[in-house]
Amino acid sequence: MADYIMALDAGTTSNRCILFNKKGKICSMAQREFHQYFPQPGWVEHDADEIWASMLGVAVEAMNRIGVEAADIAAIGITNQRETTIVWDKETGEPIAHAIVWQCRRTAAYCDSLKEQGYVDSFRKKTGLVIDAYFSGTKIKWLLDHVPGARERAEKGELLFGTVETWLIWKLTKGAVHVTDYSNASRTMLFNINTLQWDEEILKVLDIPKCMLPEPKPSSCIYGETDPSYLGGPIPIAGAAGDQQAALFGQTCFEPGEAKNTYGTGCFLLMNTGEKPVFSRNGLVTTIAWGLDGKVNYALEGSIFVAGAAVQWLRDELRLIDSAEDSEYMAKKVKDTNGCYVVPAFTGLGAPHWDQYARGTIVGITRGVNKYHIIRATLESIAYQVHDVLVAMKADSGIDLTSLKVDGGASANNFLMQTQADFIQAPVKRPSCVETTAMGAAYLAGLAVGYWKDKEEVKENQEVDRIFTPELDEKTRKTMVRGWEKAVRYAYGWAR
């Protein structure tokens, strides 16, 4: 039996390859950031070729670091930034344009027109989603409408669509396999999560030819093998899931009612709701968690668009910190935010507000507010947003979480985790390995090829690093939350 499972984690700002062993331990890792393009305010793009090249690069690097060969790898699991939309030429493999990233707001007006035409309820029932520029469907339409000749070529079957996992599988198999997994398909706004098929009616409304769509498959199954020229031999690609669903799996939230929150570029709180979709009345979306062992698991999701990205903004745009890690130490230099609130609605607001036109704001600035207050307020804004989603989740599911499992890069920030526990008044549990997204993809792939026997065996790998328990008094907490709610209202509708 081969020793490792390779996880390819295609994130929003970087690509990573991690080699895991049977105990779920990281044996090798390589990471590369890639370019972010902002051609207009509110627009975000990636170069799909760069995503592919850097992913292949990190895969080779991770293998070389510990002298691993293709035969030592039992399978590859892929996890990815979801919704990001790539359309490419079936023959040449050339993308017809930059990938439109999930954060991109360019189709907001078209989404408004869909809402005005009365599609909100029918789309929700079929796809579990709210109509928003976030999801892939309207992004595909935009490309077909704006890239010269694209629609004709798509109709003739010359173009293919994929989210990032589809693109990477297609590239790794040298164009032999064009598939997506159910969890990623459920983020396109084109997929019927009840029937597990592309929805003909929605395709008609959005005028998207079905022939360009990938074949939807479970999240744990052998899709194909890597072309031997890439990694020194063929390796089965046996798992794929959107990064948030993969993290839910990696945190072993296998039972209904179990939930996790991932602090990445954005912040995504998902609760497993079992084998039946639960439709939200409080601004959450219903999504497919994974398809495994002939069954489909659903989840309720609160999608927050900007979390870790707000810390990057402090570093790269405001230049208040040199590294993301510094934010913890700087935030603790002051005892509070001095009445100031940062609302990082840089790309609109997701759950539970869903305002495509909201934009970032800082309120409550007085003469005494310094950079430490702004840094602290930015970290607090992440915890406030998660609190808002948790309130909605409780209302939808009737479940009051006894604790919150956390992961993702920013979960390493102890100040943020303590603040989170304070705001939600529940313990926050951080695992020893916060790479749960990659771990989830590895587990899905490993289960498909028998590297791990079953979910129970996978569960044995879970280890808790630290539990943060609430410390803040209730009166202060309520006052702070009220201030946040007032601040958010200033962000509403700004770009309309």
Handedness of CA 348, 352, 353, 359 (dihedral sign): negative
> Which uninterrupted H or E stretch holds 271?
strand 267-274
* Least distance (Å) between residue 294 CB and ligand G3P: 26
Applying CB under 6 A, among 162, 239, 264, 440 the residue interacting with ligand G3P is 264
Q: Which is nearer to ligand G3P, 83 or 355 (by Cβ)?
A: 83
Nearest to 56 by CA among 84, 76, 86, 26: 76
Peptide linkage before 352 cis (omega within 30 of 0): yes
Q: Are strands 73-80 and 4-10 parallel, antiparallel or unpaired?
A: parallel
Handedness of CA 435, 429, 413, 432 (dihedral sign): negative
Q: Which residue is nearest to ligand G3P (CB)?
A: 264
* Least distance (Å) between residue 81 CB and ligand G3P: 4
Alpha-carbon separation of residue 231 from 51, 58, 181, 363, 407 (angstroms) = 17, 11, 23, 51, 30
Q: Which is nearer to ligand G3P, 102 or 423 (by Cβ)?
A: 102
The count of residues interacting with ligand G3P (CB under 6 A) is 12
* Least distance (Å) between residue 272 CB and ligand G3P: 17
Listed in sequence order, the DSSP H helices in 173-307 are 182-185, 200-206, 228-231, 243-250
Residues 6 or more apart whose Cβ sits within 8 Å of residue 261: 267, 268, 269, 270, 386, 404, 405, 406, 407
Tokens of 294: 């002939």
Is 250 a residue that touches ligand G3P (CB under 6 A)? Answer: no
Q: Which is nearer to ligand G3P, 85 or 226 (by Cβ)?
A: 85
Q: Which is nearer to ligand G3P, 84 or 226 (by Cβ)?
A: 84
Tell me, what DSSP letter sits at residue 212?
Answer: G
Q: How many Cα atoms are found within 13 Å in the side-chain-facing hemisphere of 397?
A: 28
Applying CB under 6 A, among 244, 272, 297, 436 the residue interacting with ligand G3P is 244
- Name the segment binding ligand G3P (CB under 6 A); options: 170-178, 241-249, 447-455, 477-485: 241-249
Interface with ligand G3P in residues 284-343 (CB under 6 A): none
Applying CB under 6 A, among 132, 225, 243, 407 the residue interacting with ligand G3P is 243
Q: How many CB atoms lie within 10 A of CB 281?
A: 9
For the window 198-237, what string marks contact with ligand G3P as x by the rule CB under 6 A? Answer: ----------------------------------------
Task: Give 365-369 contacts, CB < 8 A, sequence gap 24+.
Answer: 365/340, 366/338, 366/339, 366/340, 368/338, 369/337, 369/338, 369/339, 369/340
- Name the segment binding ligand G3P (CB under 6 A); options: 88-96, 260-268, 364-372, 482-490: 260-268
Tell me, what DSSP letter sits at residue 494?
Answer: T
Interface with ligand G3P in residues 9-48 (CB under 6 A): 11-12
Q: Which is nearer to ligand G3P, 388 or 422 (by Cβ)?
A: 388
Interface with ligand G3P in residues 458-487 (CB under 6 A): none
Q: Which is nearer to ligand G3P, 186 or 226 (by Cβ)?
A: 186
Q: How many Cα atoms are found within 13 Å in the side-chain-facing hemisphere of 426?
A: 17
- Name the segment binding ligand G3P (CB under 6 A); options: 16-24, 60-68, 156-164, 240-248: 240-248
Backbone phi, then psi, for 283, in 5-degree steps?
A: 85, 15
Q: Which is nearer to ligand G3P, 262 or 297 (by Cβ)?
A: 262
* Least distance (Å) between residue 163 CB and ligand G3P: 9
Applying CB under 6 A, among 250, 266, 344, 440 the residue interacting with ligand G3P is 266
Q: How many Cα atoms are found within 13 Å in the side-chain-facing hemisphere of 347?
A: 28
Nearest to 27 by CA among 73, 70, 77: 73
Q: Which is nearer to ligand G3P, 189 or 235 (by Cβ)?
A: 189
Q: Which is nearer to ligand G3P, 42 or 242 (by Cβ)?
A: 242
Interface with ligand G3P in residues 56-85 (CB under 6 A): 81-83
Q: Which is nearer to ligand G3P, 154 or 253 (by Cβ)?
A: 253
Q: Do 286 and 279 meet the contact criterion of CB atoms below 8 Å apart?
A: yes
Is 105 a residue that touches ligand G3P (CB under 6 A)? Answer: no
> Which uninterrupted H or E stretch holds 407?
strand 404-407
Nearest to 105 by CA among 130, 80, 150, 142: 142
Nearest to 342 by CA among 374, 319, 370: 374
- Name the segment binding ligand G3P (CB under 6 A); options: 37-45, 264-272, 412-420, 486-494: 264-272
- Name the segment binding ligand G3P (CB under 6 A); options: 194-202, 230-238, 239-247, 438-446: 239-247
Q: Which is nearer to ligand G3P, 91 or 317 (by Cβ)?
A: 317
Is 265 a residue that touches ligand G3P (CB under 6 A)? Answer: yes
Q: Which is nearer to ligand G3P, 19 or 246 (by Cβ)?
A: 246
* Least distance (Å) between residue 217 CB and ligand G3P: 19
* Least distance (Å) between residue 13 CB and ligand G3P: 7
Residues that bind ligand G3P (CB under 6 A): 11-12, 81-83, 102, 242-244, 264-266
